[in-house]
Chains A and B, each alone.
Chain A
Amino acid sequence: MKFGIVVNEGPYQHQSSDSAYLFCKAAIAKGHQVWRVFFYHDGVNNASKLTEPPQDDRNIVNRWSTLNEEHGVDLVVCVAAALRRGIREENLAKGFRISGLGQLVEAGIQTERTVVFGD
């Protein structure tokens, strides 16, 4: 099955980004396709390459990048939400791209299930 995922919260502050990632990993392991992850609200902070967690903690941003690299998951950051929060092309981590809200609507249209993670 084809999935669209929405992440509404930033990394570390809320569990939603972790839950979304673990959901994606499990879906892929079951042979499903995660067609797109759309980052909205503070979720855009998942895309900052300036993120540097302590050595013994998970690297949430890199985990997303790896999902893109290994499974072709389209990682889309909402432009309006991103500009509000200082996320721009120059600090975007690998595998993410900035685009419009239409990409969220398109995910709803093109995929069979849209699952939202937030607060």
Chain B
Amino acid sequence: MLHIINKSPLTNSSLDSCLRVAQSGDILLIEDAVYAATFGNAFEGKIREAMGRFKIYVLQPDLEARGFADRIIAGVLPVDYGGFVDLTTTNKNCQSWL
């Protein structure tokens, strides 16, 4: 399953909930969730830990828009909107953690 997150993990629990409930699959960070793909913040450790269970992707245009293109955690995979579409087709279902 593809899990789509759109909130900053520093102000909202949706990514935390996803990491607790989801067992495996792909996680795509979009909109304000892209901060979770960057290093140097209080959530970084949780992302590094989650990388063992999930493949973690980040929507590059959202990351660039926020000025964080150069702070991506090594191992988090950047995708464009086409890559976003591909993730929805390669996974058999998807869920937006709103």
Which A residues are closer than 8 A to B by beta carbons?
1, 3, 8, 15-16, 19, 22-23, 25-27, 29-30, 32, 113-119
Contacts and interface: CB of A to CB of B under 8 A. Distances in A.
A118 B7 CA distance: 11
A115 to B, nearest CB: 6
A93 B79 CA distance: 32
A22 B80 CA distance: 10
**8 shortest interchain CB distances as A-B pairs:** A26-B81, A116-B96, A118-B98, A27-B85, A26-B82, A22-B81, A15-B31, A26-B85
Interface string B24-56: 000000111000000000000000000000000
Nearest to A6: B96
B84 A113 contact: no
A25 B89 CA distance: 15
Given A1-B89, A115-B94, A16 B31 contact: yes
Contact of A19 (B30, B82, B95, B98): B30
A118 B31 contact: no
Interface of B: 4, 6, 30-32, 61, 80-82, 84-86, 88-89, 93-96, 98
Contacts of A117: 96
Contacts of B61: 22
Contacts of A116: 95-96, 98
9 contacts: A3-B88, A8-B98, A15-B6, A19-B6, A19-B30, A23-B81, A26-B82, A27-B85, A113-B94
B82 A30 contact: yes
Nearest to B65: A15
Contacts of B89: 1, 32, 113
A15 B89 CA distance: 23
A23 B98 CA distance: 17
Contacts of B81: 22-23, 25-26
